[in-house]
Chain A
């Protein structure tokens, strides 16, 4: 059988390397569509547009759940007592220190808006339950206070506050 001879090494090597490189670049480029197709498609992104929620039907002491981008969002109309509890906690007691003021919109202390997904492993905590009167996650027992901050249990972080703003005193836009 014929074997490769070694004359003309450098010119040959250059050609081989050039060909191999171009082929490798092409091969890598074909991965782009194969990977990109798994990202959210245009209709999913469009459906993730901001939503508006009317707050008027939510009575004091009530928490409702709405969905934005497929995630549960808690909107809690806090009572005086809940607000006070949330404000008087000393930051030193908190695993993820944050003041209540950092978690609500100025002048709208009574409205707490949270992504209702436990920061441990993704279960939905139950409102108005647990030792801190805030949220209790039934999966592994994480306890959140009336500001949605983690107080006890395996969750590392406070419940996230989604991007939102007040369009008027009684209407918010989430997203």
Chain B
């Protein structure tokens, strides 16, 4: 990749030896005849050596510089888990949701692969935002690194597209409505807008053609990203890395070879990053998602409050802050595209904010602006939120278009060090790291704190045996809960993703095989057509799923006063409630994932007489304290003594509610126990490896710091 001629001038920085001679970078020398034979025909050894071994790296890089490596790693993780998931996914509107659920339930380690992929996308964005802010703080986009930076902006845009396409694939409610909103951006284009959107959809609305093309593109784009990443790295190796001083390396004293120095440092921090990744994937895998996306896509009902994934929130806020459709879409795209022009918008000759006292303050204001915009993006577009979004959107553009150009002329930078080795850097980065991590965590949580439309009180927190890092289901409770489901809920609610065999599987109610078979035999399912073509009923077997109580949605509605009793298979993950600040931040650390179960118990026990002045909309609705809007279509389902327990547990509504909810949580997350168990092992491993890598890194860097 390298320009060979420039090698002799100490590429990439025109480095000099201490004597002032041009520095010649060590060249790859094949160790034996075979390697020499290959090298003279395909110099791949030299290419890799020059890229990853002998490449001179500024010796003063801090940990913010490890995110480039982390990003490459995350790209690989996403591609590998993605390729594997595709082996089990069905891109069809009738099957996509269930095939994702089959991955979660039946595929060996499927739950792990999907949670890694879903949370991996978020981690990828965490890393890219840190990487971008680092570039902005240290002026990494300035000459000669403009193209390097622009390639980075292109990668970021491709990531946004890929993330969006991927989010539509599970075909849940948020997938469907997110796709609807985003594709409708293009309808803002004058004259041809509508045709463009129809073309994108392949129909008159989002449908199967849309899903299939999104799937195809979601598979394609990561490889395009990989291609642009190669260009990005190529450009990096031509111009060399920036560093915290922003002063280019001059002599060999300013640099260290990439391997082992940068390699081991990158690996150490990558491992630390994986600890965070594993925390999310194993313990709070649904924290960053929306409960609504566990509801299958329904083109007839829009969720009350739709929010994009957290990583789009600032731009979503910008879009909504502008009351004109076309202008809003332009502002959204403009806010991203402007980043590509940073090398020219920033007029200062000094790169690093360390030596730019004014810019440094504006930089942090800009970071805060982005975070608050993200928070606003998660809020309903009403009242003060809109005003705040407008102010901050204006500031976002003012910062880029006005502040940056002017600062370069009015600011007096501090004296730059003569060289890197001379510089003494203040260690301000720890505080900044903490601030940024908390900020990111805060933005994360926004996605969960979205709906504010009704004023139902928060459900009381129930103590669940399955919460926390060591959580396990209570077998007795699951068995009782199943009894409640069978004797009460089943009359109206299907459980269509659960099979009878699951009842006997490890980590669930753990009935014996014989018990599960006996349960199955009590149900009737459709048999294969017989020789005369008649379809008869036969007793269900272990491999069968629970048959639905109604033949179709219309039949279910007809029997339930027009309301459709939802399927209960993933209900415990498809419900939740707003946690609010600062609880949602604490939830990351306390691993609170029981918003769904808490809500279900609250609704089951929340039937009351309507307060004075509250008017129920119809005779077939009932007052419920915790149901959004308070008018629920389901009559109070449970009453004391209704279900007989054989094990001495109290036969009360309270107990029934908890038991059936625990059962539903298991139905929604049958591998929860395996997940938490493996999570503990993975975390222990990663922490040990991080420790080892840390000491290895210290040893390797010993002579540099000496």
Is B543 in the interface zone, CB < 8 Å from A? yes
Say yes or no: A12-B692 contact (C-beta < 8 A), given A33-B108, A36-B108.
no
Q: Which residue of A lies closest to B700 (CB)?
A: A4
Is there contact, CB below 8 Å, between B696 and A16?
yes
Say yes or no: A2-B704 contact (C-beta < 8 A), given A12-B699, A33-B108, A39-B108.
yes
Say yes or no: A1-B56 contact (C-beta < 8 A), given A37-B88, A37-B113.
yes
Is A41 in the interface zone, CB < 8 Å from B? yes
Shortest distance in angstroms between A63's beta carbon and chain B's nearest beta carbon? 16
Is there contact, CB below 8 Å, between B543 and A47?
yes
Say yes or no: A49-B692 contact (C-beta < 8 A), given A37-B113, A43-B499.
no
B689 partner, pick from A22, A33, A37, A41, beta carbons under 8 A: A22
Q: Whole-angstrom distance between the alpha carbons of A24 and B257 in the complex? A: 24
Residues of A23-66 contacting chain B, CB below 8 A:
23, 26, 29, 32-34, 36-39, 41-44, 46-47, 49, 57
Q: Which residue of A lies closest to B257 (CB)?
A: A1
Say yes or no: A22-B692 contact (C-beta < 8 A), given A1-B256, A33-B113, A43-B106.
yes
Is B61 in the interface zone, CB < 8 Å from A? no
Is there contact, CB below 8 Å, between B699 and A41?
no
Contact with A along B59-90 (1 / 0, CB 8 A): 10000000000000000000010001001100
Q: Which residue of B lies closest to A8 (CB)?
A: B699
Shortest distance in angstroms between A54's beta carbon and chain B's nearest beta carbon? 11
Shortest distance in angstroms between A120's beta carbon and chain B's nearest beta carbon? 29
Shortest distance in angstroms between A108's beta carbon and chain B's nearest beta carbon? 24
Interface hub of A3, A37, A39 (most chain B Cβ within 10 A): A37
Is there contact, CB below 8 Å, between A46 and B108?
no
Is there contact, CB below 8 Å, between A15 and B699?
yes
Query: For this complex, into which size category does the number of interface residues on chain B fall?
Result: 35 or more
Is A5 in the interface zone, CB < 8 Å from B? yes
Shortest distance in angstroms between A33's beta carbon and chain B's nearest beta carbon? 4
Q: Which residue of B lies closest to A38 (CB)?
A: B87
B542 partner, pick from A3, A4, A16, A49, beta carbons under 8 A: A49
Shortest distance in angstroms between A2's beta carbon and chain B's nearest beta carbon? 5
Say yes or no: A1-B692 contact (C-beta < 8 A), given A37-B110, A43-B499.
no
Prevailing SS type, chain B contact patch: helix
Shortest distance in angstroms between B676's beta carbon and chain A's nearest beta carbon? 16
Q: Whole-angstrom distance between the alpha carbons of A135 and B501 in the complex? A: 38
Residues of B478-514 contacting chain A, CB below 8 A:
499, 501, 505
Contact with A along B91-108 (1 / 0, CB 8 A): 000000000001001111
Shortest distance in angstroms between B4's beta carbon and chain A's nearest beta carbon? 20
Is there contact, CB below 8 Å, between B108 and A1?
no
Is A139 in the interface zone, CB < 8 Å from B? no
Is A170 in the interface zone, CB < 8 Å from B? no
Is there contact, CB below 8 Å, between B102 and A4?
no
Contact with A along B181-201 (1 / 0, CB 8 A): 000000000000000000000
Say yes or no: A19-B696 contact (C-beta < 8 A), given A26-B689, A33-B112, A39-B108.
yes
A26 partner, pick from B59, B105, B685, beta carbons under 8 A: B685
Query: For this complex, into which size category does the number of interface residues on chain A fall?
Result: 20 to 34
Given the complex, which residues of B lie within 8 Å of A1, measured CB to CB? 56, 252, 255-257
Shortest distance in angstroms between A45's beta carbon and chain B's nearest beta carbon? 9
Say yes or no: A4-B255 contact (C-beta < 8 A), given A18-B692, A46-B542.
no
Is B409 in the interface zone, CB < 8 Å from A? no
Shortest distance in angstroms between A56's beta carbon and chain B's nearest beta carbon? 12
Q: Whole-angstrom distance between the alpha carbons of A15 and B691 in the complex? A: 11
Residues of B522-558 contacting chain A, CB below 8 A:
531, 541-543
Q: Which residue of A lies closest to B17 (CB)?
A: A1
Shortest distance in angstroms between A138's beta carbon and chain B's nearest beta carbon? 27
Is there contact, CB below 8 Å, between B703 and A2?
yes
Given the complex, which residues of B lie within 8 Å of A46, measured CB to CB? 499, 501, 542-543
Contact with A along B670-706 (1 / 0, CB 8 A): 0000000000000001101100110110011001100
Is there contact, CB below 8 Å, between A15 and B696?
yes
Contact with A along B248-261 (1 / 0, CB 8 A): 00001001110011
Interface hub of A29, A32, A36, A43 (most chain B Cβ within 10 A): A43
Q: Whole-angstrom distance between the alpha carbons of A23 and B692 in the complex? A: 9
Shortest distance in angstroms between A52's beta carbon and chain B's nearest beta carbon? 11
Interface hub of B261, B696, B700 (most chain A Cβ within 10 A): B696
Is there contact, CB below 8 Å, between A43 and B693?
no
Interface hub of B56, B107, B255, B531 (most chain A Cβ within 10 A): B107
Residues of B221-279 contacting chain A, CB below 8 A:
252, 255-257, 260-261, 267
A41 partner, pick from B110, B260, B696, beta carbons under 8 A: B110
Other CB < 8 Å A-B pairs besides A15-B692, A37-B109, 16 of them? A3-B257, A4-B260, A15-B696, A19-B689, A19-B692, A33-B109, A37-B87, A38-B87, A41-B102, A41-B106, A43-B106, A44-B106, A46-B501, A46-B542, A49-B543, A57-B531
Identify the 4 closest CB pairs spanning chains A and B, nearest first.
A33-B109, A46-B543, A42-B106, A36-B108
Seen from chain A, the residues whose Cβ lies within 8 Å of a Cβ on chain B are 1-5, 8, 12, 15-16, 18-19, 22-23, 26, 29, 32-34, 36-39, 41-44, 46-47, 49, 57
List 16 A-B residue pairs with CB atoms under 8 Å apart, sorted by A's residue number.
Answer: A1-B56, A1-B256, A4-B700, A19-B695, A22-B685, A22-B688, A23-B689, A33-B108, A33-B113, A34-B80, A37-B84, A37-B87, A37-B108, A39-B108, A41-B102, A43-B106
Seen from chain B, the residues whose Cβ lies within 8 Å of a Cβ on chain A are 56, 59, 80, 84, 87-88, 102, 105-110, 112-113, 252, 255-257, 260-261, 267, 499, 501, 505, 531, 541-543, 685-686, 688-689, 692-693, 695-696, 699-700, 703-704
